[in-house]
Amino acid sequence: MSKKTIPLGLSIAAFVLMSAGCKEKKTAEDYLHSGQAFYEQELLGKARVQYRNALALDATNGDAHFGLATLAKDKQDLAARQYHLQKTVEYSPENTTAIFELGEISLLMGDLAVAQKSAKSLAQLQPETLQYYKLALAVAIAEDKWQQAQTLGEDALKAFPENAELWGLIGVVAKKQEQWPQALKALDKAIALDEQNPQYRVLRIEVNEARGDVDASILDLKALIDSSDYSDAQIIKLIKLVNDQRGRPAAIDELNNYLHKYPQADALQVLLVDLVKQDDPERAGKLLDEFIRKANNPTGLLFYRVNAAFSHNNVVLAQQDLNTLVALPNQTPKALAQAKSMQAELAWLQGDWDNAQTLVISVLALDANHVNALLLRAKLLVREGRSGDAVVYLNKVLAQNAQSVEALSLLAEHYQRQGNTSLAKDFYHRIGLVDPDNYAALRFHIYEAFSKEHLTNADALVTRALKRYPEDAALLGIKLQIAALRANYKTATAILEQLKALDLSAADALFFEGFIQQQQGDYARAMTSFGKAVSARGQYDKALKAMFACANKAKALEVFKTFLLTHTEKNAHDLTAHLLIAQLTFEANPVAAIKRLSSVTQAQPSWYEGVVALSKFKRYHGDAAEALVLLKGSYTQSKNSSVGIAYARMLEQQAQAAEAGVVYDQLLQVDSNNDIVRNNYALLLVGELFSQASLRKALQLTEGFASSDNPALLDTQGVVLMTAGKFTEANYAFNKALGFADITEIKLHYADSLYRSGDHAGGREVLEGLENKGVSEGIAKKIALLRERWAQK
């Protein structure tokens, strides 16, 4: 390549001119002209800079705004275009093109008021122009003003009889009024004037579909397909119409014609396989194999065959095709992530947990937001007992698919296990909105109402659920218990016979017999039935606890204890039985109780309920130091929340508040929604660890308690708010808590809050109400201290 030299005189002259230009300060108009020049040269980035420079010097320059609106139109940025058009019209109210475009885009974005204003402006500035008629007609259609639209259309066509857009709008007016001949005539004229615009053919298809003329729709679709770029959606729609109207053979022939034209269109190939499969599955399979062999890129077809293999439980074929997909050269990251995700799902179904874990991690390395991989990662964590860690992944799933029932269910179950009933309830409610007949959600609401003894509500819910699941043993069992609690023993017995006919287990049948007997007051027979249920199953916590309750009523704890000792000799794995023996033994023989629990927890270190109970027994027996060591060791190894909470509470009792705070922080890192942790930590922060920073943290921790129906949580929120001097909110929290349960301690807090808020009479009245009912010696001392503190203030 030869270098071109610039004549010396010319280059010096250019330098002089440029130097002189540099000394002149550019105006907004200079930048505007530069921007327009760059736009004409299609240097859009440079044009944008010049228009912005113009606005920097003159923010009211309408032409600069219009230039930016034009650039936004090229980028299809509707919001930016609308903004700059609004500014153009504001600063250049005579710019009719901007007014027209603003009205047009406002209609597109649903802002009818702005479109109406734009049409009125054009009517004043430029009546009877094409822009005016087009916008006014479109506004009239949006307003459903058909007579006005018809009149405008007639006037517009007199002035502009060869404008395709106007004919198209007239077609829309006729279509909206179901004037099919007029609509078809107008759209035919629009198509004749502008054959390249597919929208008129699309409208014509809609008209023919609305009037039930399938043959005409087929012809229109063929014309649309032939006149526009390839669209598998249009061809698939055509084939479905042909199939419905003329039968499967005709549809297959029509589809084969398009496959000859587009031999690598995998969407059409899949449709052909689906059509052939309905009459000849074997031929369809061979056809799919052939398509895959001949495909330049078989990715889509392989995924189709994988899904078919999954639906037919053909694990071997699914695995082979997934391996092929992963090994394909130049595979896209999206397809690779999807293939590996399906491999992970297959490993999960086969119980190959380690392989599933490895594959899921590799998928998330390719695509950190892959929904299926995030969900499977969460399921794997739940399986490992790490549901707290799974929460992060499940929330990511819901951020992309808020209606994922599986993710919602896993979160609901997690919070239910954590004892966070309010959050569990929220998630089950969301499941019910997506899937009203979801079994898990129905069961949760039924059990919640039943556990709160809201029998009317529980009965209504279980009756509704049984319509959907009429032979569900768990639901029938609740129905039986409600009947027994209402003394409808005949109904309860009839349901029990119904359950037995459904192959109810012997242990469950004995439990329900015992439950009916318990409600009838026959505690001795109920104990026998519950005992047989426990023996039949080997471990049956619900029956064992019911038997304990009956033993208390029948004053037969020694009999119950003898049963437990015999039972644990045969069923050493029944941890609840061991715990009950220890509780019954502790008062008379604490050493024996501690020895039993120590032995069992050493053999079962993951029995965290036993670890917590053993620590309490040790502390009650005067060995607090050893109890603390036990809890610390178990928590350090397991990070279990129940053990962690017990450990933190014991640290508080041992005047190690700061160390307790560290444990609570660790627990919140694992599960920030654990209400027990938040409750205990908040009280510690406004107590032993009080500071202004701690108070702010306590307020944050208890913020969500306002929506709870747990009086303890509401009480804690009230205490924190009272400490912060927010007495109105505190009084509300205490009052709400007392609406759920008449608890003396909450009344003391409420009285204190009322008094400190300035309502001295209200505070005294609450205390007097307590004293009039009679209080224990301990509560009397607290009331005296409270009055003493008030007197000092």
Q: Cβ distance 741 to 764 under 8 Å?
A: no
Question: Would you state the pLDDT for residue 24?
Answer: 58
Q: Cβ distance 186 to 217 under 8 Å?
A: no
Kind and range of the H or E element at 449?
helix 439-451
Helices 760-773/744-756 angle, 10° precision: 160
- Residue 74 banded pLDDT, cuts 50, 70, 90: confident
DSSP 305-362: HHHHHHHTT-HHHHHHHHHHHHH-TT--HHHHHHHHHHHHHHHHHTT-HHHHHHHHHH
| Cα gap 307→273, rounded to integer Å | 14
> Half-sphere exposure of 30 toward its Cβ, with a 13 Å CA cutoff?
8
pLDDT higher than threshold 80 for residue 5:
no
Question: 439-482: per-residue pLDDT in tens?
Answer: 999 999 999 899 888 999 999 999 999 999 999 999 999 999 99
Q: Cβ distance 484 to 516 under 8 Å?
A: yes
Question: 677-712: per-residue pLDDT in tens?
Answer: 999 999 999 999 999 999 999 999 999 888 888 899
Tokens (6 digits) for 713: 């949580």
CB neighbours of residue 230 within 10 Å: 12
Helices 675-685/641-653 angle, 10° precision: 20
| Cα gap 134→155, rounded to integer Å | 11
Helices 675-685/692-702 angle, 10° precision: 160
Question: 523-548: per-residue pLDDT in tens?
Answer: 999 999 999 999 999 999 999 999 99
CB neighbours of residue 22 within 10 Å: 9
Question: Would you state the pLDDT for residue 80?
Answer: 87
Who contacts 26 (Cβ-Cβ below 8 Å, separation ≥6)?
53, 57
Residue carrying structure tokens 């039924």 = 446
- Residue 1 banded pLDDT, cuts 50, 70, 90: very low
Q: Name the residue among 112, 109, 182 with its Cα closest to residue 140.
A: 112
Question: 143-162: per-residue pLDDT in tens?
Answer: 888 889 888 888 888 989 99
- Residue 214 banded pLDDT, cuts 50, 70, 90: confident
| Cα gap 111→107, rounded to integer Å | 6
Q: Give the predicted TM-score (pTM) of the model.
A: 0.58
Among the residues of 76-231, which ranges form H helices?
Answer: 78-91, 96-108, 112-125, 130-142, 146-159, 164-176, 180-193, 198-210, 214-227
Question: Would you state the pLDDT for residue 330?
Answer: 87
Tokens (6 digits) for 566: 């015999």
Tokens (6 digits) for 669: 């890192």
Question: 172-205: per-residue pLDDT in tens?
Answer: 988 888 899 998 999 989 989 988 888 888 898 8
> What's the angle, vertex CA 214, arms to CA 211 and CA 218, rounded to 5?
125
| Cα gap 239→218, rounded to integer Å | 9
Question: Would you state the pLDDT for residue 757?
Answer: 93
Task: Using only the alpha carbons of the chain, give its radius of gyration.
Answer: 39
Q: Name the residue among 257, 181, 253 with its Cα closest to residue 216.
A: 181
pLDDT higher than threshold 70 for residue 298:
yes
Helices 371-383/387-400 angle, 10° precision: 160
| Cα gap 166→160, rounded to integer Å | 8
Longest alpha-carbon distance in the chain: 121
Residue carrying structure tokens 């979801």 = 438
Portion of the chain with pLDDT greater than 90, in percent: 62
Who contacts 759 (Cβ-Cβ below 8 Å, separation ≥6)?
none
404-413: string of b/e by CB count within 10 Å (b at 16+)?
bbebbbbbbb
Q: What is the mean pLDDT of the chain?
A: 90
Q: Cβ distance 528 to 518 under 8 Å?
A: no
Tokens (6 digits) for 46: 């440079």
Who contacts 453 (Cβ-Cβ below 8 Å, separation ≥6)?
none
- Residue 231 banded pLDDT, cuts 50, 70, 90: confident
Residue carrying structure tokens 């964590």 = 381
| Cα gap 425→440, rounded to integer Å | 11
- Residue 14 banded pLDDT, cuts 50, 70, 90: very low
- Residue 133 banded pLDDT, cuts 50, 70, 90: confident
DSSP 174-219: HHHTT-HHHHHHHHHHHHHH-TT-HHHHHHHHHHHHHTT-HHHHHH
CB neighbours of residue 524 within 10 Å: 13
CB neighbours of residue 369 within 10 Å: 12
> Half-sphere exposure of 462 toward its Cβ, with a 13 Å CA cutoff?
24
pLDDT higher than threshold 60 for residue 634:
yes
Q: Cβ distance 515 to 543 under 8 Å?
A: no
Question: 239-279: per-residue pLDDT in tens?
Answer: 999 998 899 999 999 999 999 988 888 899 999 999 999 99
Q: Cβ distance 102 to 87 under 8 Å?
A: no
Question: Would you state the pLDDT for residue 469?
Answer: 94
Question: 717-775: per-residue pLDDT in tens?
Answer: 999 999 999 999 999 999 999 998 899 999 999 999 999 999 999 999 999 998 888 88
pLDDT higher than threshold 70 for residue 779:
yes
Question: Would you state the pLDDT for residue 353?
Answer: 93
Phi-psi region of 2 (alpha: psi -120 to 50; beta: other; left: phi over 0): beta
Q: Cβ distance 476 to 466 under 8 Å?
A: yes
Q: If DSSP states are collapsed to H, E and C, what string results for 611-654?
A: HHHHHHHHHHCCCHHHHHHHHHHHHHHHCCHHHHHHHHHHHHHC
Q: Name the residue among 82, 91, 46, 44 with its Cα closest to residue 64.
A: 91
Q: In degrees rounded to 5, what are phi and psi of residue 304?
A: -60, -45
Phi-psi region of 254 (alpha: psi -120 to 50; beta: other; left: phi over 0): alpha
